Structure 1
Amino acid sequence: MVEQVRVLDGHTMAEPARQKPAAAAGAILVPVLRIGVPVALLVLWEIAVRAGIIPARFFPAPSALFAEIWADLLSGKLVVDTLSSLNRLVWGLSIGVVLGVAFGMAMALWRQVDAALGVTVHVLRAIPPITWIGFSILWFGLGNRPAIFLIVLGTVFPMLLNTYAGVKQVDVIYLRAARNLGAHGFLLFRDVVLAAALPSILTGLRVSLGLAWILMVVGELIAVPAGLGDTLMRAQDYDQTDRMLAYMILIGFYGYLSDLLLAAVSHRLLRWQRGIEG
């Protein structure tokens, strides 16, 4: 391959021809690291348990965890628990997102709403959602509703604050340019305000999704008869460390998959935006 050169300040510099092998190596290295490091950790963990370095009773080997998950999958229990948990998570996250975006938009667009709700919002968001467990059971009893209530409390404020920040950061030049081109009312809101605030809103959604998984498990630990958190609590009560650790890792894996899905959706929605790729 013939390299192209250019002269800059009296120095000859190589064009990207020499950089292509390094870029190709980096493109290969990234997926290898993403898969290889977790696999290596699992192998080392398995070896350490089998060699007696780590007591199996307190920290079971990965093979025991996979066997536990496989048995629950074959029996159908894992499917029921997963669907029950996802139902609560989707309901709680959806309500939290709708309320957060609506109030965030209102506070950012209307000064009077911001003045009326600002202090209340900042006081409430400083209260940890888990402190509402007692009231959630008192108000809603046992079942899905208290768990959904906790998820809503944990997700509404990140959505509100990120929406608020995204709208406030819309450059006034965009608004003036859109008005000069004839955009007004809903069209101006949709194509300028909402589009410019969308990156911040999606960032809030990813934060809220992570909090939703945490609060879903918290809610299921105390208020519901079925779900991933309920199985985790029962395993703890009966000293089933293999099942307990298996479901802990399973919840983390589900959270990772949901974040990957949301990241892919965000990338598609923000394909017009160009940032730093790494």
Structure 2
Amino acid sequence: MSIASEHIDRLLPQTQCRQCGYQGCSPYAQALSRGEAAINLCTPGGITVIRDLAQLLNVPVLPPADPLKSEQPKAIAVIDESECIGCTACIKACPVDAILGATKQMHTVITSECSGCELCIAPCPVDCIRMQPVHDHWLPQARLVADNQQDERFAAAAQANKRFQHRTARLQRLQHLKKQQQHAYQQKATITATPATAKSAANINPAALIAKAMAKAQTQQLQRRVPDNQDSFQQQQIAKAQEQASYRRAMRDFQYGNEQQKADALEWLRLHKQQRESQQ
């Protein structure tokens, strides 16, 4: 007899990290309920969650699928604010809304709400996010242990799931609002259309409209054009940020990567050094 996915989901840490290969804790729980997934894929949960899942599903205990990762201490994301370019990529990736910031503004992590999922690292174009180890056994740190629930593990999972549900609801509201605005715009366009305007629209020459639009765009482009020296300065700043990101990535791969990554990083650092020396 299959176990309901809701019972399985309660045992998971709710970090929504996707390290199990599924798009969150609930999809992983559904796969477990159908017997389509192994019980040892939850890296944040480690052996504790594996044992609970084994007991619930009446299956043998398995070693963690990624033992090295599961043995590492818990860590939260930290943004190097001096390198942040305000692209908002990390904000969109965070499943628990634990990152504050705005477009072209410095971002920062709400450390007490970070679940340590690491989903914000890969999208960062300048590699300015790192994971900082903490002493906690379970994240987020904002967990509140209730009187009838003395296990900080389930308190942390409840806090992470609450943040995740709030974010999901917020995105759904924004999507619904967007559809409403699009529908209102379409209705307004339909109401304002009259037989006379429809007849005149039928007589419009598409080629003339295209030529007019192109001429208008060229005029606006000329009006908005910035001095060449400003364009050059912006390109230099972008190139500098990309170079710094590549250097940090190479240093990280050289220290923590596999053999191939270390070799590639060493070659990049060697070429980078030669290039810098030739410019001096």
TM range (shorter): under 0.3
Scaled by the length of structure 1, the TM-score of the pair is 0.21
Larger Rg belongs to: 2
Q: TM-score, normalised by structure 2?
A: 0.21
